[in-house]
């Protein structure tokens, strides 16, 4: 692949690895290590949507990983975090390792992965295992990652839904997630929680981002004095209109900046949902990763990677392109 190919809004375009197989890395992220980019995500089944462990939205493999020197040609590196076929194990499939994110801890020398964990059979609930943060560590970026435990930051009343990780320039790390509270009137809202120095636990420092009420799928970047967070609405697997927010401090006050998509005439984020956003190494350019969910066959979801344009006055913009080159 010499350029990013997306096709029209309605197209589902398979991206292939260097062996010619469909890249299977749903709702994942990117980390740059020693001259290579590593792309990882949950391995989806070759099935459509279904409940009680029957659907393609759950995994019976784990978190896949790929590597690339140029962001275009991806080599399959194997399963970074694997399921365990033991009914007594919390990793017994079918389950979900949704939205895994990896950051490196300079102090401990460990790669740390956080993800949205849902135990077998992989259906959301408010009960134990129905929406937690899962944590795993590894000595190498490719793993294997050792699963440690699951938890709910802040308190057990807040179920974990869509999430991401952010490592700041001072080395501190933050878990950013859609907190779903078990009250009669849902109060879902994105929260930002500072992690302990080893990145393995939440600290007691956190912020409820009030303007991000009923938002999910957060992705965070920093540029020229502003943190930006791109999010989606809550319509399950159906695409919806995006919003982005900005702040001078992660635990400060966030401002609603509206829809980041410049030519989203249908108001559905180009039929996709935000997955991650990252800086191209050695540049001041950023890529926004999104995924077009194929509810008929989750193995054949489409990836949409687009450049982020900064248009002055602390604003950003993302325009759809059927294809583009770095």
21 and 28 Cβ atoms separated by less than 8 Å? no
Confidence at residue 3, expressed as pLDDT on a 0 to 100 scale: 92
Amino acid 183: pLDDT: 67
pLDDT at residue 291 greater than cutoff 90: yes
Rounded to two decimals, the pTM is 0.97
Q: Extract the tokens encoding 257.
A: 């900046």
Give tens-digit pLDDT for 43-79.
999 999 999 999 999 999 999 999 999 999 999 999 9
How many helices (H) and strands (E) are present in the chain, helices listed first?
0, 23
CA-based nearest residue to 113, from 80, 158, 156: 80
Instruction: Give percent above pLDDT 70 in the chain.
Output: 99
The whole-angstrom separation of Cα 36 and Cα 31 is 8
Q: How confident is the model at residue 182 (pLDDT cuts 50, 70, 90)?
A: confident
* Confidence band, pLDDT 50/70/90 cuts, at residue 118: very high
255-270 confidence digits (pLDDT tens): 999 999 999 989 999 9
Q: Mean pLDDT, to the nearest integer, of 208-236?
A: 96
26 has pLDDT over 90: yes
Kindly tell me if the per-residue pLDDT of 176 is higher than 90: yes
Per-residue confidence (pLDDT) for residue 184, from 0 to 100? 66
Dihedral pair phi/psi, residue 298, rounded to 5°: -70, -20
Q: Which residue in the block uniquely carries the two structure tokens 């309605």?
A: 10
């Amino acid at each position: 692949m010499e350029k990013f190919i997306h096709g029209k809004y309605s197209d589902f375009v398979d991206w292939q690895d260097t062996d010619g197989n469909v890249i299977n890395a749903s709702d994942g992220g990117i980390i740059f290590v020693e001259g290579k980019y590593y792309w990882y995500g949950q391995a989806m089944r070759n099935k459509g949507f279904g409940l009680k462990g029957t659907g393609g939205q759950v995994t019976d493999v784990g978190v896949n990983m790929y590597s690339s020197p140029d962001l275009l040609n991806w080599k399959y590196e194997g399963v970074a975090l694997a399921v365990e076929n033991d009914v007594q194990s919390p990793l017994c499939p079918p389950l979900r390792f949704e939205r895994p994110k990896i950051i490196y801890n300079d102090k401990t020398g460990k790669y740390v992965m956080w993800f949205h964990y849902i135990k077998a059979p992989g259906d959301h609930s408010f009960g134990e295992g129905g929406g937690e943060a899962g944590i795993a560590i590894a000595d190498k970026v490719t793993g294997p990652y050792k699963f440690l435990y699951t938890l709910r930051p802040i308190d057990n009343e807040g179920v974990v839904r869509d999430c991401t990780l952010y490592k700041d320039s001072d080395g501190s790390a933050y878990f950013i997630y859609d907190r779903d509270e078990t009250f009669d009137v849902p109060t879902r809202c994105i929260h930002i929680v500072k992690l302990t120095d080893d990145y393995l636990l939440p600290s007691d420092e956190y912020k409820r981002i009030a303007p991000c009420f009923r938002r999910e799928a957060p992705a965070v970047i920093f540029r020229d004095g502003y943190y930006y967070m791109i999010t989606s609405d809550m319509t399950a697997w159906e695409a919806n209109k995006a919003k982005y927010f900005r702040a001078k401090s992660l635990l400060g006050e966030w401002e609603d900046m509206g829809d980041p998509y410049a030519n989203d005439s249908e108001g559905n984020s180009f039929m996709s949902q935000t997955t991650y956003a990252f800086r191209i190494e050695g540049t001041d350019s950023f890529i926004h990763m999104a995924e077009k969910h194929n509810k008929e066959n989750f193995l054949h979801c489409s990836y949409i990677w687009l450049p982020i344009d900064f248009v002055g006055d602390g604003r950003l913009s993302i325009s759809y392109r059927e294809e583009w080159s770095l």
